[in-house]
């Protein structure tokens, strides 16, 4: 999973993320911002190499009704976005939990509309949903039900506290054994065979207490 950011400081703090999933490719998580583009052109923010996708297929822009939401809008008459019920639409409003498709790719909007408070919420490292007011060491994501634990514990500084997965594949995570500049190393044990393993997770894959 990768995360690319760009645009003005206002757009980077919108509080919304666009999760892209496509068969055979890693999941991507991108900050939603005005000017983000989708298309077959390699220069697009999101490149989808498929004949069903136009060279410049869609662009994120402000809604014409002025209500403050951003929309994903088709850029050519032939371009189509797959909306609810697999209906073809010319644009979709990028509200939280909105789902739509472009060619073989499927997108989901995660997070919530920007507010100063939204930037201090702990989030699930898998789906980026806010975890709410979590005071303990363990938690479960209310959206994807991923089991999580907080490290280090007890928390000394929210800016350097992370929510980590309690399970990775077929392994149960028992503890953190090391931290580097790019990631954290977990000690885990196989649920079926009992074999120990060291698992390194890049820091881009999980969330700090201040997101």
Q: What is the pLDDT of residue 184?
A: 84
pTM of the complete model: 0.51
- What pLDDT, on a 0 to 100 scale, did the predictor assign at position 45? 92
Question: Residue 210 has what pLDDT?
Answer: 36
Between strands 37-39 and 46-47, the pairing is parallel
3-state secondary structure of 187: strand
Residue 119: per-residue pLDDT: 44
Domain range 121-208, CATH architecture? 2-Layer Sandwich (3.30)
Q: Cα 117 to the chain's mean position, in Å?
A: 19
Question: Which residues is 25 bridged to in the sheet?
Answer: none
pLDDT at site 84: 74
Residue 201 φ then ψ, to 5°: -120, 125
Residue 115's pLDDT is: 44
Query: H or E element: which one contains 9?
Result: helix 9-12
* CA separation for the pair 52, 191 (Å, rounded): 43
State how far the alpha carbon of 132 is from the alpha carbons of 17, 39, 51, 79, in Å: 17, 35, 42, 38
All structural domains of the chain with their residue ranges: 2-111, 121-208
Task: Note down pLDDT in tens along the chain; length 211 residues.
Answer: 444 433 333 433 356 788 899 998 888 888 788 899 999 999 999 999 999 999 999 999 988 876 678 899 999 999 999 987 788 999 999 888 889 999 999 999 886 544 444 444 567 776 666 776 666 788 888 777 888 888 877 766 555 567 788 888 889 998 888 887 777 888 999 988 999 999 887 765 554 443 3
**2-111 matches 121-208 in fold:** no
pLDDT for res 43 = 92
- Which class is 2-111 in CATH? mainly beta
Asked if residues 142 and 160 have their Cβ atoms less than 8 Å apart, the reply is no
Query: How many angstroms separate the first and last alpha carbons of the chain?
Result: 16
């Amino acid at each position: 999973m990768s995360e690319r950011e760009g645009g003005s400081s206002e757009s980077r703090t919108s509080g919304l993320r666009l999760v892209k999933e496509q068969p055979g490719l890693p999941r991507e998580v991108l900050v939603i911002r005005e000017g983000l583009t989708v298309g077959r052109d390699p220069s697009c923010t999101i490149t989808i190499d498929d004949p069903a996708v136009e060279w410049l297929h869609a662009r994120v822009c402000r809604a014409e009704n002025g209500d403050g939401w951003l929309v994903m809008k088709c850029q050519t008459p032939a371009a189509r976005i797959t909306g609810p019920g697999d209906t073809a639409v010319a644009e979709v409003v990028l509200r939280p939990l909105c789902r739509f498709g472009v060619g073989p790719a499927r997108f989901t909007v995660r997070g919530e509309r920007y507010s100063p408070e939204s930037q201090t919420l702990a989030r699930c490292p898998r789906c980026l949903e806010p975890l709410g007011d979590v005071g303990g060491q363990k938690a479960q994501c209310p959206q994807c039900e991923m089991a999580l634990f907080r490290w280090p514990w007890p928390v000394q500084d929210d800016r350097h506290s992370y929510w980590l997965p309690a399970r990775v594949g077929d392994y149960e995570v028992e503890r953190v054994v090391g931290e580097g500049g790019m990631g954290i190393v977990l000690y885990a044990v196989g649920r079926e065979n009992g074999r120990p393993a060291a698992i390194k997770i890049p820091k881009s894959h999980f969330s700090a207490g201040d997101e």
